[in-house]
Chain A
Amino acid sequence: MADAAQSNAVPSAAGSAAEPNWREDVYQALKELDIRQVHYVPDAGHAHVIERCLADPEIEAGMLANEFEGIGACCGAWLGGQRAAMLMQSSGIGNTINALGLVTSGRFPFFTVITMRGEWGEFNPWQLHGGQSAEKILEASGVVTMRANYAHEVAEMVLAGARLAFASYCPVAVLIGQRVIGAKVFK
């Protein structure tokens, strides 16, 4: 464990040649799923996907001020016949709670990829609140929650999670563990 924590504390998150490039995997999965709108609150863990989506003429990608509005934006996209996804960080989960009533009352498909903080080697104690309550809040709000703890799990989990959301008309969150992302190091 100590060794793993140590290796994650180093910015190995960018990935060595031997590691799966999970960041690109997320983007490729969104493409394969025909996601046409991506709404995001920026996060370092999502930076690569956000850049790729912004550069993709087939994806209408744009920023949100608050995760709350991402729920409506994704449901509105579905009303209009498009698949959408939200990219966010665990600290924003609390912002979505009341808006998730639109998803559950309307039986909308909703798909989000959430990068986790407040767990694996976290430095900032204020991130614990969102990170440690994440799965409980999502579960209580009716969101099916899946978690990738290793980089090689990310691609299939994003694909399977989104397929579940859009085929079964339910909210699904794929959590990417902080162990995958690597803890931020402040020196």
Chain B
Amino acid sequence: MAENLLSRRPSIQRLLQGRTDKLLVVAGLGSAIWDVESAGENPLNYYLLGAMGSVVPTALGLALAQPERRVLALTGDAELMMGLYTLPTVAVRRPRNLVVACIDNERFGETGSQPAHTAQGVDLAGMARASGFPLVREVYNEDGIDALRTALYTAEGPLFAVIKVSGEMPPVVMPIRDGATGKARFREALLGERGLKE
């Protein structure tokens, strides 16, 4: 089974291929950030290097504030587990423009690859379904990534996708680490001068 799993780095690069400025990305905690950054620096990415469990709620607030844009929350299985109650919160609030994608490698990659809950059978897609997400996908191959890329821009969400990947740990691609700089860049790119002066 393991050799058939997707590799995370090329999968996320494929997901973000041909990205337009319609798409806003919130990513965390560690590996998900390196994956997004490897697809190219973009001021419309906001990275959380801490506050574990906050990626999806941050994307929720952003999606509600920007209904004309599309928002991708890109997280890992352990980051999502730490704030799992946000799945029902998102499902109840129903932001149609939000896609939550969870890269599931079934381990705590940054801390020595200890097996995580999903390695013991915890079913994140099932939890999203039970929470009331109208759209739920499980992605196991490149066709699934391509379909998810289309859905990023078109789905009547909220959509939850779990991307099953192998346990490999690609090299770190370090972005700007300062949260305040990231915030200022993001707001300037999205809102123009107002984003800096407000």
Q: A residues near B, CB below 8 A? A: 36-37, 39, 60, 62-66, 68-82, 84, 98-102, 105-108
Write the nearest CB–CB distance from B112 to chain A, whole angstroms.
Answer: 21
Q: Which A residues are in CB contact (< 8 Å) with B60? A: 69, 72-73, 76
Contact, CB under 8 Å: B83 / A69: yes
Q: B58 in the interface, Cβ–Cβ < 8 Å?
A: yes
Cβ B88 vs Cβ A79 within 8 A: no
A residues in contact with B49, CB < 8 Å: 105
Which B45-102 residues sit within 8 Å CB-CB of chain A?
46, 48-66, 83, 85-86, 88-89, 92-93
- The answer to whether B54 and A102 have CB atoms under 8 Å apart is yes
Tell me whether B167 is interfacial, beta carbon within 8 Å. Answer: no
Q: Answer whether residue B180 sits at the interface, using C-beta atoms and an 8 A cutoff.
A: yes
Whether B190 contacts A80 by the Cβ 8 Å rule is yes
Chain B residues, CB < 8 A from A78: 61, 183, 187
B85 pairs with A79, CB closer than 8 A = no
- By a beta-carbon cutoff of 8 Å, the part of chain B in contact with chain A is 24, 26, 46, 48-66, 83, 85-86, 88-89, 92-93, 178-180, 182-183, 186-187, 190-191, 194-195, 198
Contacts of B93 in A (CB 8 A): 62
Task: Name B58's contact: one of A36, A66, A75, A98 (CB within 8 Å).
Answer: A75
Can you name 18 A-B residue pairings with CB atoms under 8 Å? A36-B65, A68-B54, A69-B57, A69-B60, A69-B85, A72-B54, A75-B54, A76-B57, A76-B59, A76-B60, A76-B61, A76-B65, A79-B65, A80-B61, A101-B51, A105-B178, A106-B182, A108-B183
Tell me which residues across on chain A come within 8 A of B66, comparing CB atoms.
80-81
Chain A residues with CB below 8 A from B182, complex form = 106
Q: How far is the CB of B174 from chain A (nearest CB, A)?
A: 16
Question: Nearest B residue to A71 by beta-carbon distance?
Answer: B54
The minimal Cβ–Cβ distance linking B159 to chain A, given in whole angstroms, is 17
